């Protein structure tokens, strides 16, 4: 059953990650913190996208965890970790709504849901292998 939790978690992760990346891209940051802040922000954004799509729970959780890291330990944007904490709680609470991997659901999205075709290929491979073994 689909709930609102993964969508809300994804939106919160994306907002927090966008603020983090934006803050570290700005003119008032120290050069040594720019790469880490941008990378964490991009991971939070990617995790938010996967949460909205309900795919790859681990990446959605990693994005929410990255969204917890404040872009600045004092002053500006100290409220953004609250978004990350909420996102992480929502992702954890909705784990059963996620598909296990992006590649497994890729075929179903494009209409490739016939698993019997895979079974036929496997059976044919076994038959060919037996023919090869017996001469």
- Determine the average pLDDT of the residues in 72-98: 86
State the pLDDT at residue 45. Answer: 96
Cα separation, 16 vs 2, in Å, equals 24
Residue 94 lies in a domain: yes
State the pLDDT at residue 90. Answer: 96
Residue 30 lies in a domain: yes
Cα distance from N-terminal residue to C-terminal residue, the chain: 53
Residue 129 lies in a domain: no
Share of the chain above pLDDT 70, in %: 63
Residue 111 lies in a domain: no
Judged by DSSP in three states, 99 sits in strand
State the pLDDT at residue 35. Answer: 81
Domain of 69, in residue numbers: 5-100
- Determine the average pLDDT of the residues in 92-119: 61
pTM score, whole prediction:
0.69
Q: How confident is the model at residue 125 (pLDDT cuts 50, 70, 90)?
A: low
Structural domains of the chain, count:
1
Judged by DSSP in three states, 55 sits in strand
């Amino acid at each position: 059953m689909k709930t609102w939790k993964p969508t809300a978690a994804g939106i919160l992760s994306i907002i927090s990650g966008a603020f983090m990346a934006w803050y570290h891209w700005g003119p008032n940051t120290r050069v040594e913190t720019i790469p880490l802040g941008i990378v964490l922000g991009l991971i939070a954004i990617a995790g938010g996208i996967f949460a909205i799509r309900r795919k790859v729970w681990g990446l959605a959780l990693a994005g929410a965890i990255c969204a917890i890291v404040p872009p600045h330990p004092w002053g500006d944007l100290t409220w953004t970790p609250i978004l990350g904490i909420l996102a992480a709680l929502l992702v954890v609470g909705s784990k059963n709504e996620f598909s296990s991997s992006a590649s497994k659901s890729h075929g179903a999205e494009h209409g490739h849901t016939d698993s019997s075709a895979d079974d036929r290929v496997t059976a044919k491979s076994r038959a060919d292998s037996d023919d090869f073994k017996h001469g």
